[in-house]
């Protein structure tokens, strides 16, 4: 691994997967490989691990740290496409275990430029793959009030979602919404509306 990383429920995950040395496993959320590297260690010569992540930095880490191992296949994609990817490898019905460790990774939170941090100034990006789709700021520039409220309610579990959405739309009329926590601008991450 490129940096010290303590994966969550490490022992529990490995025990639940019951890794067989010749088994075939998929880690759909590689992150920085805390789990994937341990799975690889438990595999024998005939074992195989397929690692996926949407994040190009995660994929770069996987390539650097395990890319030269012939038992490893690295795929940059949404784990929602896992079945199609496994079919492509001709391994359907041959997978012994799948791991999904959902959420953001520490490196994503620690890098202000990714826009996930509550503590560091940065653009309101918030994409797992910054090369794909719209940033949060771009989405906020056109989403309607009801949609913003729904997203805050469903994904942010924010009980003031409607009030915040209304404020965002009002604020949007007088300027672009960015992610910077400079107090002169609106900061969605902390739901600051000035
Ligand atoms: C909590 S981290 C995984 C940490 C990893 N288990 C480790 O030990 O380093 C979650 C990872 O899932 C990735 N991710 C989130 N949603 C994804 C999706 N829909 N498809 C693929 N990867 C995704 C993120 O980019 C992030 O790297």
Q: What is the pLDDT of residues 103-129, one digit of tens each?
A: 899 999 999 999 998 888 889 999 999
Ligand 1 atom with minimal separation from the 27 CA: 6
What are the C-alpha distances in Å from 41 to residues 44, 71, 104, 170? 8, 11, 24, 54
pLDDT at 95 over 60: yes
pLDDT reported for residue 182 = 46
Confidence (pLDDT) at 7: 86
Mean pLDDT on 9-35? 96
Query: pLDDT digits over 39-59, tens only?
Result: 999 999 999 999 999 999 999
Confidence of residue 98 (pLDDT cuts 50, 70, 90): very high
Does the structure show a pLDDT above 90 at 86?
yes
State the pLDDT at residue 150: 98
* Residue-level pLDDT at 184: 40
User: In angstroms, what is the span from residue 79 Cα to ligand 1's centroid?
Assistant: 9
Q: What is the pLDDT of residue 194?
A: 33
Q: Does 177 have pLDDT greater than 60?
A: yes
CA-nearest of 79, 76, 67, 57 to 3 is 57
Ligand 1 pocket check for 134: Cβ under 6 Å: no
Q: Distance (Å, rounded) from C-alpha 152 to C-alpha 85?
A: 32
pLDDT in the model for residue 120: 87
Ligand 1 pocket, residue 115 CB under 6 Å = no
Q: Ligand 1 in contact with 50 (CB < 6 A)?
A: no
Residue nearest to atom 19 of ligand 1 (CA): 78
pLDDT (mean) for 9-25: 95
Check pLDDT > 80 for residue 189: no
Which tokens is 185 given? 């601008």
Mean local confidence (pLDDT), 134-163? 95
The distance from CA 148 to its chain's CA centroid, rounded to whole angstroms, is: 21
Distance 49 CA to ligand 1 centre (A): 16
Pocket test for ligand 1, best of 14, 52, 61, 105 (most atoms within 8 A of CB): 105
pTM here is 0.87
Domains in the chain: ranges and CATH: 10-106 (3.40.50.150), 111-190 (1.10.150.170)
Whether residue 67 has pLDDT greater than 90: yes
């Amino acid at each position: 691994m490129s940096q010290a990383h303590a994966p969550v429920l490490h022992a529990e995950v490995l025990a639940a997967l019951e890794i067989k040395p010749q088994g075939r496993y998929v880690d759909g959320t590689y992150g920085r490989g805390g789990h994937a590297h341990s799975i690889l260690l438990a595999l024998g010569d005939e074992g195989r691990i397929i690692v996926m992540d949407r994040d190009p930095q995660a994929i770069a880490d996987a390539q650097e740290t395990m890319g030269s191992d012939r038992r490893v296949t690295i795929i940059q994609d949404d784990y929602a496409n896992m079945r199609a990817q496994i079919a492509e490898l001709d391994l359907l019905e041959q997978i012994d275990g799948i791991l999904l460790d959902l959420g953001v990774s520490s490196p994503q939170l620690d890098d202000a430029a990714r826009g996930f941090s509550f503590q560091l100034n940065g653009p309101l990006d918030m994409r797992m793959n910054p090369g794909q789709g719209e940033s949060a700021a771009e989405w906020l520039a056109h989403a309607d009030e009801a949609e913003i409220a729904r997203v805050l309610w469903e994904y942010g579990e924010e009980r003031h979602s409607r009030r915040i959405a209304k404020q965002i739309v009002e604020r949007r009329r007088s300027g672009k919404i960015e992610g910077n926590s400079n107090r002169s601008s609106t900061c969605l991450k902390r739901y600051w509306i000035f």
